């Protein structure tokens, strides 16, 4: 069993997509092991996207993700990381495969509705950052 971190971004929360997005993971057979609605501080957002520090879009990304509430959750199941990334789709909704979350609901590269950890290391770091150690 594997765990991964997911986050419904501000526009997904504002557009009322929380249940639809979480439901996709549940229907796929994943177990939700942690869930919270929160508004990230700028400091927390900077830590979330630390790997992008120094890139031209970093400040806009941090400002956006900390501008309104987000829903963070952790799923558990076989191949959770790879499957969640596949379900999320390409970062740019215009390039995402039909039927993925970003293709169905994303607006543009920044407002692409969902964040999904991209590796075991990222999943571990992001889960610890937002939920501490889960048993």
Write the DSSP symbol of residue 57.
Answer: T
* Per-position pLDDT tens, the chain of length 135: 999 999 999 999 999 999 999 999 999 999 999 999 999 999 999 999 999 999 999 999 999 999 999 999 999 999 999 999 999 999 999 999 999 999 999 999 989 999 999 999 999 999 999 999 876
**Phi, psi values for residue 89, rounded to 5°:** 90, 175
Per-domain residue ranges for the chain? 2-41+69-131
Candidate list 89, 115, 117, 127, residue with the active-site label: 115
Q: Known catalytic residue: 130?
A: no
User: What pLDDT, on the 0 to 100 scale, is given for residue 134?
Assistant: 77
Residues in contact with 52: Cβ distance below 8 Å, sequence separation at least 6, in sequence order: 58, 61
pTM value is 0.95
Task: Please name the fold of domain 2-41+69-131.
Answer: Alpha-Beta Plaits (3.30.70)
Structure-token match 């969640």, residue found: 84
Q: CB neighbours (10 Å) of residue 6?
A: 27
pLDDT of residue 135: 61
- The confidence score (pLDDT) of residue 74 equals 98
Query: For residue 128, what pLDDT is reported?
Result: 97
């Amino acid at each position: 069993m594997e765990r991964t971190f997911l986050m419904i971004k501000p526009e997904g929360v504002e557009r009322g997509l929380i249940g639809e997005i979480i439901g996709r993971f549940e229907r796929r057979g994943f177990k939700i092991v942690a869930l919270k609605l929160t508004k990230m501080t700028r400091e927390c957002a900077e830590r979330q996207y630390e790997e992008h520090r120094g890139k031209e879009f970093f400040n806009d990304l941090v400002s956006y993700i900390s501008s309104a509430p987000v829903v963070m959750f952790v799923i558990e199941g076989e191949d959770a990381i790879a499957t969640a990334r596949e379900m999320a789709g390409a970062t740019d909704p215009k390039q995402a495969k039909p039927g993925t979350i970003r293709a169905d609901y994303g607006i543009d590269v920044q407002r692409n509705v969902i964040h999904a950890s991209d590796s075991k290391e990222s999943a571990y770091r992001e889960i610890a950052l937002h939920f501490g150690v889960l048993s």
